[in-house]
Every structure is written in structure tokens, then in C-alpha cells.
Amino acid sequence: MAALSNDASVRNHQDCEIILQAIRIARGFEMRGAYNAAKLFWALAFSCEIQLSNAIGIQDGVDQLDSEIEALLSVAKLEETDPQWVAMMRRGQQGARENRTILLTEIPEASVCRRCGEMILGDSSSGCPACHAQALTLRIFPPIYYLEPLPREQALSALASAPREMEAAMRGLNAEQLSRPSKPGEWAIRDVAWHVLVAQGLLAGRLEKMLAEVDPPLPSVPAWAVDAIDSLSTSEILQQYSSSRQATVERLSRLAAEEWWRTGQHDEFGQVTVLQQASYFAKHERSHFPQLSEIRRALGV
């Protein structure tokens, strides 16, 4: 873990106390049925978690992640109490080191009992094995929040407006600026545009497959690893993205209500619906858009 100064260590402890107290208050309000009051304290706890992790620093290099995992396990003592979880963590650690997609067959569903905190790997349909809380009360952790479904109209609106936002972020830049990374090893705006185009192709292909077949297999594709076509200019990438996205939005707009619930079997995420896929790609794009502004600022344009 990153080393902290004495002042930082104090702040770290204070923030952890705030998180713990906020969660205790939130759960207390829930027990009284004061749910709209509880949500404020759940939000405070999550905000503190994000801000504290940002302040300490996020590591995504495999060596740094390995070091952080070892430090965590030594403190949490999970190897003594939850060896199965540690085995899965090691499996995820290895998959990340190999720079590959980690499939659901390798690391199963993860859930936590909201009542006693028991961690459950795999099938949780029998509920909590520790306190016997019912399965529907468990908190299931999806692989990524993108999978949490949006309302249909919100998903459609987000998908439809994304190309315009991408175009606005590129406005006034020449080809050299669009292809220049903010620093060596980082993405240029063209790289972000290509990544989003690849992702749009995945959405379009999965949509047609899910509408034509019953619960079809949906192989995972690491969109970030698809090599860009050098012959395409950034403006051509944007044009292809815009036209493909328009066709996808028109296709989704014509769906009957029940068609949004058609499913496919994704080898990384499990069973997913059309609505989840639309929501996933809408959120995924928006997670990349701040990069465009950051690159522009770094380039001084």
C-alpha cells in the first residue's frame, strides 16, 4: 500500500471512522423504516470511500496491485478465515497479470449478507449459510456497475446523444492534435474514438444475436485490445460510430416492451438482458468521455 505521512494517517483513520459511523446510522434508519433518511448516509459512506481511495492513490499496475493485495491479506487475515475467497482473489490476481478477460467460470458470483456480513461465493439461492437470511435480501456484486439497468428511455437517450458529445469534444482539433497522446503511453483522442467505435460494434452485434436467438452465447471481447485501423482518420471513425449508433438506436426504439428482456449468456458476466447491454454500453462510453477533456487540457488545446 502507498505509504502515508503522519497527517495522512490521521486523516485516513478519521475517514474510516466517518464511513463506519455513516453505515451504522444508515442501517439504524433502515431498521426504523426511514429509507429516504438512510440513503443519505449510504451516499456519504460511498463518497468517503471514493475520495479516500483517490487521496491515497489508485494503482493499476500488476506489481503495485500484487503489493496492495498482500498488504490487505496480511491485515484482513482472510487466508485463515476465508481461504476460498483468497483462492479466488489469487485467481483474479493471476488473470490480471496475464492481461486477459477473467471469465465467470473462473470466479463465480459474489454476494454478501446484509444482515451479518457473511461473504458468499457462487450460488446464493439458499440464502446466507451463517444467519439464514433469505436469498433475496443478499447484496450481489456485479462485475461492473455498467450492468445495472437504466430505465429504457434513459438508456436510449444516452446512446443517441453520445456521438454528438464525442463530436463536440473533437471540434477545432486538427488530425495531428487528435492523434497526439497527452504523454507517452497514454491514449490520444483518436484512440478513445476507436475504442468507442469497437464497443458500438459489439453492442450492435449482440443486440441482433439476442433478438434473433433464444438466450445465445455472447463471447467476451476486450474492446481495448482491438487494434485500430490506421487507414481510418479520426473523422472517419466518428462518422462510422455515428451511423452505426443511429441504426442501433432506431432498432432499439422499435422494440416491444418484452423484447428488452430477451437474454444472452455472456461468458464474463453471466445472463444479461437487452436492457442491460444497452445500459452497459451507455455507461461505458460516459466513463471515457472525461478523458477527452483531460487530453485536450494536457495538450493545451
pLDDT at 191 over 80: yes
Band (14; pLDDT cuts 50, 70, 90): confident
Beta bridge partners of 270: 266
| Nearest partner of 207 among 170, 253, 148, judged by Cα | 253
pLDDT tens digits for range 202-228: 999 999 999 999 999 999 988 777 777
pTM of the model: 0.89
Residue 83 has pLDDT above 60, yes or no: yes
Distance of CA 298 to the CA centre of its chain: 25
- In the chain, what percentage of residues exceed pLDDT 70? 96
Output the pLDDT for position 10: 52
Q: Is pLDDT larger for residue 78 or for residue 124? A: 124
Average pLDDT (228-256) is 95
**pLDDT: is 2 or 176 the higher one?**
176
Average pLDDT over residues 247-265: 98
Residue keyed to cell 445495472: 148
Query: Three cell numbers at 59?
Result: 494503482
pLDDT bin (cut points 50, 70, 90) of residue 5 is: very low
Q: Give the mean pLDDT of the chain.
A: 92
Q: Which residue has the cell 438512510?
A: 38
Q: What is the predicted pLDDT for the residue at 9? A: 56
The CA–CA distances, whole Å, from 258 to 24, 152, 245, 252 equal 40, 12, 22, 12
pLDDT of residue 1: 33
Sheet order of strands, 110-112 included:
119-121, 110-112, 139-141
pLDDT score at 221: 87
Q: What percentage of the chain exceeds 90 in pLDDT? A: 83
Interval 121-179: pLDDT, tens: 999 999 999 999 999 999 999 999 999 999 999 999 999 999 999 999 999 999 999 99
Assign 80 a pLDDT band (cuts: 50, 70, 90). confident
**CB 260 within 8 Å of CB 156:** no
Q: What is the side-by-side strand order in the sheet with 263-266?
A: 217-218, 263-266, 270-273
